[in-house]
Amino acid sequence: MDHFLQIYGTLPRAGPGSNELTRRAFEIMSDVPESPRILDVGCGPGMQTVELLRITSGTVVALDLIPEMITRVRARAVSAGVSDRLETLEQDMTEMVFPESSFDVVWSEGAIYFLGFEAGLKKVKDFVEPGGYVVVSEAVWLKPNPPPEVVEFWKEYPEIDTVAAKLEVIKRIGYESVGHFIFPATAWTEHYYNPMEERIAEKTAEWRGIPEAEAVLKKARNEISIFRSHSDYFSYAFFVMRN
């Protein structure tokens, strides 16, 4: 495993979120079939995948580009006793193709941005039943005029925008927005930054003198520090929309 994956690929989640928030977003949907067919795009280590399998009697197709993530989502589903309803697909989401209306729900926590927010929502529209749902979490600004270090940090993801701007995109594509909510700070720390700090501490001595590895640690420390100092400026939000 490369150094990046040894930090980012070994955490309980690969981005902000929690089972509680996954359930809260799920509950916004009405009249989802009892055994829905769900596509989880960019499943990562699969915390939300397994939660979706627990709260429904449906099936989940969990898609991710990285083989280690596919291994982890499968292992997690086996531990939870829900692996019989899990299908995994090791695939680049830019290449995903499914027959029209294949899914009742398309889910994507912190990953639709790899396609671009608008392009991603457009792409999955064909895969969802008419009347079905698309549920995504995405980075949002909470207030204007962030300090320069925050602007610099988010340059890597220039699509971060206000909730209002994201809702405008959702409407423009032709979805009906049925709900959204902003993540609390604990959704960044509990399963993501706190375990990341532990991983950084474990690796600091071991990786000393390896420039590429030290660069990964520096970037991770900076990311955590930006969040801890400025989480009043940005967060993630869940967006629940109907096709």
Ligand X SMILES: C[S@@+](CC[C@H](N)C(=O)[O-])C[C@H]1O[C@@H](n2cnc3c(N)ncnc32)[C@H](O)[C@@H]1O
Whether residue 44 contacts residue 75, with contact meaning beta carbons closer than 8 Å, is answered with no
Residue with token string 């709260």 = 55
Nearer to ligand X, 143 or 155 (CB): 155
Cα end-to-end span (Å), the chain? 39
Contact yes or no for 172/21 (Cβ under 8 A): no
Give me the least distance between CB of 208 and ligand X, in Å please. Answer: 28
Backbone angles phi, psi at 98, to 5 degrees: -135, 155
User: Of the candidates 21, 25, 50, 66, which one interacts with ligand X according to CB under 6 A?
Assistant: 66
| Contact flags string 71-100 toward ligand X, x per CB under 6 A | ---------------------xxx------
Residue 58 binding ligand X, by CB under 6 A: no
What is the rounded CA–CA span in Å between residue 134 and residue 16? Answer: 19
Of 53 and 69, CB closest to ligand X: 69
Q: How far is the CB of 91 from ligand X (least distance, A)?
A: 6
In whole angstroms, the minimum distance from the beta carbon of 99 to ligand X comes to 19
Q: Which is nearer to ligand X, 45 or 144 (CB)?
A: 45
Stretch that binds ligand X, among 109-117, 165-173, 178-186, 207-215 (CB under 6 A): 109-117
Q: Return d(Cα 241, Cα 124) in angstroms, integer.
A: 12
User: Is 122 or 131 the residue whose CB approaches ligand X more closely?
Assistant: 122
Q: Tell me, what amino acid is at 15?
A: G
Q: Which residues contact 109 (CB under 8 A, 6 or more apart)?
A: 15, 17, 22, 42, 44, 48, 136, 137
* 187 touches ligand X (CB under 6 A): no
Choosing from 22, 37, 38, 44, the residue that interacts with ligand X (CB under 6 A) is 44
CA separation, residue 111 to residues 7, 92, 213 (Å) = 18, 12, 24
Residue 42 binds to ligand X (criterion: CB under 6 A) = yes
User: What is the C-alpha to C-alpha distance for residues 64 and 237, in angstroms, rounded to an integer?
Assistant: 21
- Is the Cβ of residue 5 or residue 148 nearer to ligand X in the bound state? 5
| Integer Cα distance of 141 and 54 in angstroms | 32
Specify the residue, 70 or 128, whose C-beta has the smaller distance to ligand X.
Answer: 70
Tell me which residues touch ligand X (CB under 6 A). Answer: 13-15, 17, 42-45, 47-48, 64-66, 69, 92-94, 109-111, 114
